[in-house]
Chains A and B, each alone.
Chain A
Amino acid sequence: MTLEPLKLELEEKVPGCGLEIISNPSPSAQHSLLIDPEHAVAVAMYLRDAAHLRFDYCSNVTGIDWPAPNDAGKAKLKDMEEDLEQDEADCATAGYLEVVYHLYSMEKKHGPVILRMRTCDRGLRVHLPSLVSVWRSADFQEREIFDLFGVIFDGHPDLRRILMWDEYTDHPMRRDYVEPDDYEYEPTAHDEVLRKTMNHYAK
């Protein structure tokens, strides 16, 4: 499905929504639409209900962590946590969390249309709107992203940890997650496990 006409149509039907086509250079050519969080629910509603689109089926919801490429970003993030009033321009250097929705239509049997949303940073400003009110299939998947990435979905009816226990405080799918060091022993240590075991005893 070509995205340019869809983008123009959405801009007309949902006034003020910021859309950007993210092109995908791989042979799959599955390009996606970056939408701004404020208008996400309106855009999703339109995609679902417009008679010629009817994207009634949200197949897959994914979280992706994009940390800042260098240490400068990390320092910046620390500053920002102290001062939340910094302007938008700084966000770009602090890395972000991204949520990707894959939409198909069961009625028209077409798709996919891929929507993406990005948080402002990876620290405190990680709120995104929940699309559960549009597609219930996003329910468990958004909870999973909350659990493993730490994205907070505003408007989700039951936002709790889903895979890890409630007392858990980390977000293990983030790239900078440090796992607990319990590599005391491995009967057939090899590769990465051997390295981790050696690190355990080196401490």
Chain B
Amino acid sequence: MDEGLKSELSKQGVVATNLQELYNWGRRNSIWPLNFGLACCAIEMIASTMARYDMARFGAEVFRPSPRQADLMIVAGTITKKMAPQVVRLYNQMPEPKYVISMGACAISGGPFKQGYNVLKGIDRYIPVDIYIPGCPPRPEALIDALMALQRKIDAQQLTGDSRPRHLNADEPSEFTVPKFGAHDLEPPQNPVVWHAPLVQIALAEDDDSGTA
């Protein structure tokens, strides 16, 4: 239907829609996040559900303690190598459709703790991530912005065709390999199905002594 006619009709109190729009409208306005915090960012995640920021305005206040009931995993904080298998396992336990917000510098790349021997350098090494929020920690407004970005992403998903989302495609995987504890590091150190290092040009000038602090 033509957009102009649709908006004319809505002024008269007649709502015209199709199944895809209705389906996505319902899903985007009732995202249930997993009640799951890792570190500092989790406090800002809690703050964003509390009185002042009130994430309930966007339909995402029902934090579920069980992954079986959740649609969205907010990876809020530093993922250590000891914790990474559990994070992947929780993700695997969530039913499709499921989404991941990687909240804060640590969840994106290890952040300030990147040089730690027990710190995973980004959760996207093991599970696919939909939205990244930079910040250390990101403010509650940033988390709400990420939630709205996710809502736009859900809104744009097609129910049919080649670009349909993963949960409507039986051939796409819904679970990912859980890493194992090794003698020196996790095994494997990243999941090549999900992540491979982007090609980057790295250069350091001869007399650059920034690395020596």
Binding site for B on A (CB under 8 A): 163-170, 172, 177, 179-180, 182-187, 189-198, 201
Nearest Cβ distance between residue B16 and chain A, in whole angstroms? 44
Q: How far is the CA of A201 from the CA of B199 in the complex (A)?
A: 11
Interchain Cβ contacts under 8 Å between A and B, 11 examples = A164-B82, A180-B184, A184-B197, A185-B198, A186-B114, A186-B121, A187-B108, A189-B202, A190-B210, A198-B204, A201-B202
Q: Is the CB of B181 within 8 A of A180?
A: no
Q: Is the CB of B183 within 8 A of A193?
A: no
| Chain A hits for B197, CB < 8 A | 184-185
- Known interface pairs A164-B82, A185-B200, A198-B202; A177-B211 also in contact (CB < 8 Å): no
Q: Is the CB of B115 within 8 A of A192?
A: yes
B161 CB within 8 Å of chain A: no
| Chain A hits for B198, CB < 8 A | 185
Q: Is the CB of A168 within 8 A of B183?
A: yes
How many CB-defined contacts (below 8 Å) exist between A and B?
65
Q: Is the CB of B182 within 8 A of A186?
A: no
- Known interface pairs A169-B183, A191-B213; A180-B202 also in contact (CB < 8 Å): no
Q: How far is the CA of A193 from the CA of B190 in the complex (A)?
A: 19
Q: Which of B114, B117, B184 contacts A169 (CB 8 A)?
A: B184
Q: How far is the CA of A50 from the CA of B21 in the complex (A)?
A: 79
Nearest Cβ distance between residue B121 and chain A, in whole angstroms? 6
Q: Which of B82, B108, B190, B210 contacts A182 (CB 8 A)?
A: B190
- Of A164, A180, A182, A194, the most chain B CB neighbours within 10 A belong to A182
- Known interface pairs A177-B117, A187-B109; A194-B204 also in contact (CB < 8 Å): yes
Q: How far is the CA of A182 from the CA of B198 in the complex (A)?
A: 14
Nearest Cβ distance between residue A36 and chain B, in whole angstroms? 33
Binding site for A on B (CB under 8 A): 82, 108-109, 114-115, 117-118, 121, 181-185, 189-190, 197-198, 200, 202, 204, 210-211, 213
| Chain B hits for A193, CB < 8 A | 114-115
| Chain B hits for A179, CB < 8 A | 115, 117
Q: How far is the CA of A192 from the CA of B204 in the complex (A)?
A: 11
| Chain B hits for A166, CB < 8 A | 181
* Nearest A residue to B208, CB-CB: A194
Q: How far is the CA of A191 from the CA of B209 in the complex (A)?
A: 8
Q: How far is the CA of A196 from the CA of B118 in the complex (A)?
A: 16
Nearest Cβ distance between residue B191 and chain A, in whole angstroms? 13
Q: How far is the CA of A202 from the CA of B159 in the complex (A)?
A: 46
* Nearest B residue to A188, CB-CB: B109
| Chain A hits for B190, CB < 8 A | 182, 184
Q: Other CB < 8 Å A-B pairs besides A168-B183, A185-B198, 11 of them?
A: A168-B184, A170-B183, A172-B117, A183-B121, A185-B121, A185-B200, A186-B121, A187-B108, A191-B210, A194-B202, A195-B204
Q: How far is the CA of A45 from the CA of B182 in the complex (A)?
A: 41
| Chain B hits for A165, CB < 8 A | 82, 181
| Chain B hits for A191, CB < 8 A | 210-211, 213
* Nearest B residue to A193, CB-CB: B114
Nearest Cβ distance between residue A5 and chain B, in whole angstroms? 44
